[in-house]
């Protein structure tokens, strides 16, 4: 049973546009929600993360929006650039103690020039 569902599977956005990737989770015990970015031939790297006590977190052009009641969170990339073309993974885990990350299946983003 997939605990973190990610959509869309792939996304094409024009340069300067807004890219939006959505994730939904089932386990209400999750309380840490990171997004990872992966370029071709490289390992994933942490991009931005949010805790459920805030509804939004912004770092530069990247924003996470979080809706606890709907058990959904999303990544918005403003002013998308060709250099943002990558695969993006959402994930969830339980902070404190020890917990592994549960990843979504990934979204391949292509930003056209």
Partner 1 sequence: NAGVTQTPKFQVLKTGQSMTLQCAQDMNHNSMYWYRQDPGMGLRLIYYSASEGTTDKGEVPNGYNVSRLNKREFSLRLESAAPSQTSVYFCASSDRGGQGAYEQYFGPGTRLTVT
- Footprint of partner 1 (CB under 8 A): 6, 9, 32, 34, 41-46, 49, 51, 89, 93, 95-101, 103-106
What is the distance between the alpha carbons of residues 77 and 8, in angstroms, rounded to a whole number? 14
Cβ atoms of residues 75 and 84 within 8 Å: no
- Residue 15 or 51 having the CB closest to partner 1: 51
- Residue 83 or 97 having the CB closest to partner 1: 97
The minimum distance between CB 35 and partner 1, in angstroms, equals 12
Cβ atoms of residues 42 and 72 within 8 Å: no
The minimum distance between CB 51 and partner 1, in angstroms, equals 7
Q: How distant, in Å, are the alpha carbons of 8, 15, 111 from that of 45? A: 20, 23, 19
- Residue 15 or 42 having the CB closest to partner 1: 42
The minimum distance between CB 75 and partner 1, in angstroms, equals 15
Element (H or E) spanning 36, and its range?
strand 33-38
């Amino acid at each position: 049973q997939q605990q973190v569902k990610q959509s869309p599977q792939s996304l094409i956005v024009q340069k300067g546009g807004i890219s939006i990737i959505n994730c939904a989770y089932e386990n209400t015990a999750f309380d840490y929600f990171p997004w990872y970015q992966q370029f071709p031939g490289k390992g994933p790297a942490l991009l931005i993360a949010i805790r459920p006590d805030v509804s939004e977190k912004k770092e530069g052009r990247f924003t996470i929006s979080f809706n606890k009641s709907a058990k959904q969170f999303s990544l918005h990339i403003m002013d998308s650039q060709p250099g943002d073309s990558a695969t993006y993974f959402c994930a969830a885990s339980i902070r404190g103690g020890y917990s592994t990350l549960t990843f979504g299946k990934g979204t391949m983003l292509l930003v056209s020039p």
